[in-house]
Structure 1
């Protein structure tokens, strides 16, 4: 079977796993439409507004931390089902929460689902995908995320337009959270139709099942070679533990994975995603217009994620990352300048859309691609859990501090701080990120070992 004639199984499995990304985006961005109404309903201060917007991220941190070990024991697919169930519970709980404490508890439960999906969906795809198209397939997970974000922007705008402002403040925001039940149930049903990861099956000595799935994806000859290569990488039978992360061949990969995960977030992406309507309102845009500009932001996000999917396996990870972070740096500087000069025109919208476009074709999808590729099979679940844990920790810090930064140092300085971080990120990517396009996961693992 040629590298271009892969079976429908791999595309189907990728799309289903990417629904986990859709729920991730949907549940993460729902707050952007609700936070303004909740601020009035609960009389939130800047600090409390930051907490309500970011409390789900505590759950994300917990979900990311434990999902790797759990998926090593019971399988990738079962833990993805757990994430979908957590999304259902959270959607219902936040919609009917009688007070802010209950709301926060159910948002944290939903956050656990996001944390699991953010780590396991790209890992599952990486363990299923043929080397030649792996970057493209993992990037489809990011397409799921941005599609989820775009869908909830439309849902939020629709719900906000049903009745007047008073209804939105008392009830509308509850509908926004409750709407997440529908995609969550769809995810559970779709997961029933896809197989377990062949690399997980091989690690549990279920070689005939692993070979059957690999054969459906790659054809009989390549499947046998790949299974032998997987088993070779699993030869050391001692169970993997967190202490093994200190091993020389893992240390460098771990450092790169953690730093890339952190830097992908502290360049301000979630500040813009969570607070986009509030940012647009702050320069005099009306509530309805702010919602529509936020939807435009979501559309740009989807379009430029498709650019990443198209070119990641041709241009390579590193070139796309450097191109994207360069554009992000310029757009962040311009955003700060707009706030500094207090311009009321469309330059802020253009700068923010440019920033989103550059993020969507680079750090957005490729962070997940790189951290799903650079770790050895035996360590992948635990190492990705650690990297994703730091990613969500960074998201939490950005979301928690953004309203406080805006209130203390002002909007211009806040975006210029993100600009400086973006410059550092460019240097980090240029100096340290390895190129992994076209290599099997086992070939990448061997390169790390040979380097030591």
Structure 2
């Protein structure tokens, strides 16, 4: 089972690398492809729009042809999108390639967690499922490290360093082909989900897979459980837009949408996509910024690990999420204060911004990454979970794309002070909205939650 988890989470690793690699590649790409502030944002946001489409499409594809085959197809799409971006001579080729990569990223965000949860033993499901979230931030950290190494060996051509090497960003992007190949080769040898087999009436195939990853007694005992899970999966498809006429359903959908938007408007992905450029604005040199940016990746990995191994099952979701929103709001406020106290572009300001933004990333990954995803999956009763999660994740990706599109213009117009003042105000507003709308989903079954919500109890 551990080998299956390692292979499957190459999808999460690809997700992380693809979303993080532009952090260092964007500045030389901007120089070589002559990108404006608007087209710079498009290079980022087109991947995220593709991811929104991929998340919607690949769930149905995985139900139709199987989780394993879908992940093999996603590995091919990752590779095709990577090659297209690497060889792109201009924006007309780059943007469609980023959309293709986005389809794979969004597909992986849906299919990998499902595949892991359906193969994992009950007592290890949370821990193994959480590995995908950890793999995503590890992929982002690897992207930051690779970018820093390449930039140190071959300083890229930028607006402030026109004599540097051209097309270094192509090498940064090309590294993504390696985990795509590993995912493709690895999944060829992995089993299909027994739950999917059972949903197609292939009982013997489902048992055969379980016998590969369990003892014989355990495998046969789990067949009844898998059959029940398959039945529950069918129930998830019964809810839809008609249910929005029910007041309590609208209430929990509002809470879910607010939560999805809040996670993205914290600005976490602006750091993951544009961290190197943001650090240059704060005062780091072209050579120092990629190295300093590695601390953002380290903070993300540490925060995710703390959450997965120590917090997510021990602190009520509502408490953890509200505490996280307060923490990131405070970090944004400290970033603004440091930009006001220290001279613009000074070493003191640069390191103060680095410290407070890294603390923001740590707080975000500790309290607002995994807990938000877990809470979204728990808010909806079984028959509405597929519809509710689908709509919530779509809103989340679209918000992500909007932040990715407008951040370059925001940092250019407002600098560190204006940008993080904006995030400070938005986070404070959404902390209040979450406090007013989000019920606690910990410690109660889905049936108990549905009874409470239907009775108007949203505590």
TM class by shorter-chain length? 0.7 to 0.9
Match of 1:332 in 2: 332
* 221-230 or 147-156, which deviates more: 221-230
Match of 1:81 in 2: 72
Match of 1:298 in 2: 297
1:42 Cα offset (Å): 2.7
Are the equivalent residues in 1 in contact too, given 2:29–2:167 (CA < 8 A)? no
Are the equivalent residues in 1 in contact too, given 2:66–2:196 (CA < 8 A)? yes
Q: Deviations over 1:197-242 (max 9, x none)?
A: 34433433344544665675693586255235425535769x6475
Match of 1:396 in 2: 401
1:175 Cα offset (Å): 0.8
1:279 Cα offset (Å): 1.2
1:87 Cα offset (Å): 1.0
Counting only pairs closer than 5 Å after superposition, residues 4-19 of structure 1 correspond to structure 2 as 9=1, 11-19=2-10
Number of residues of Structure 1 aligned to a counterpart in Structure 2: 439
The reply to whether residue 176 of structure 1 matches residue 203 of structure 2 is no
Give 2:184's match in structure 1, choosing from 185, 188, 209.
188
1:78 Cα offset (Å): 2.2
Are the equivalent residues in 2 in contact too, given 1:68–1:382 (CA < 8 A)? no
Structure-2 change in CA distance of 1:30 and 1:276 (3 Å)? same
The reply to whether residue 384 of structure 1 matches residue 389 of structure 2 is yes
* 166-175 or 377-386, which deviates more: 377-386
User: SS in structure 2 opposite 1:287?
Assistant: coil
Counting only pairs closer than 5 Å after superposition, residues 245-284 of structure 1 correspond to structure 2 as 246=244, 248=246, 251=250, 254-284=253-283
* 268-277 or 306-315, which deviates more: 306-315
1:340 Cα offset (Å): 3.2
Structure-2 change in CA distance of 1:378 and 1:349 (3 Å)? same
In the superposition, the TM-score normalised over structure 1's length comes to: 0.86
Match of 1:4 in 2: none
Are the equivalent residues in 2 in contact too, given 1:47–1:404 (CA < 8 A)? yes
Give, in whole Å, the separation in 2 of the partners of 1:313 and 1:48. Answer: 42
Counting only pairs closer than 5 Å after superposition, residues 28-177 of structure 1 correspond to structure 2 as 28-129=19-120, 132-166=123-157, 170-177=166-173
Structure ranking higher on relative contact order (CA contacts 8 Å, 6+ apart): 1
CA RMSD of superposed structures (Å): 3.0
1:264 Cα offset (Å): 0.8
1:350 Cα offset (Å): 1.0
Give, in whole Å, the separation in 2 of the partners of 1:217 and 1:321. Answer: 36
Match of 1:6 in 2: none
Give, in whole Å, the separation in 2 of the partners of 1:136 and 1:270. Answer: 24
Give, in whole Å, the separation in 1 of the partners of 2:59 and 2:250. Answer: 18
Are the equivalent residues in 1 in contact too, given 2:16–2:135 (CA < 8 A)? yes
Are the equivalent residues in 2 in contact too, given 1:29–1:149 (CA < 8 A)? yes
Match of 1:320 in 2: 320
Are the equivalent residues in 2 in contact too, given 1:305–1:361 (CA < 8 A)? yes
Match of 1:406 in 2: 411
Q: Deviations over 1:93-134 (max 9, x none)?
A: 111112221111111111111111112222333444455544
Counting only pairs closer than 5 Å after superposition, residues 363-374 of structure 1 correspond to structure 2 as 363-374=368-379
The reply to whether residue 357 of structure 1 matches residue 356 of structure 2 is no
Q: Deviations over 1:76-96 (max 9, x none)?
A: 232222222111011111111
Structure-2 change in CA distance of 1:74 and 1:404 (3 Å)? same
Q: Deviations over 1:142-165 (max 9, x none)?
A: 111111001111111122223243
Give, in whole Å, the separation in 2 of the partners of 1:40 and 1:55. Answer: 19
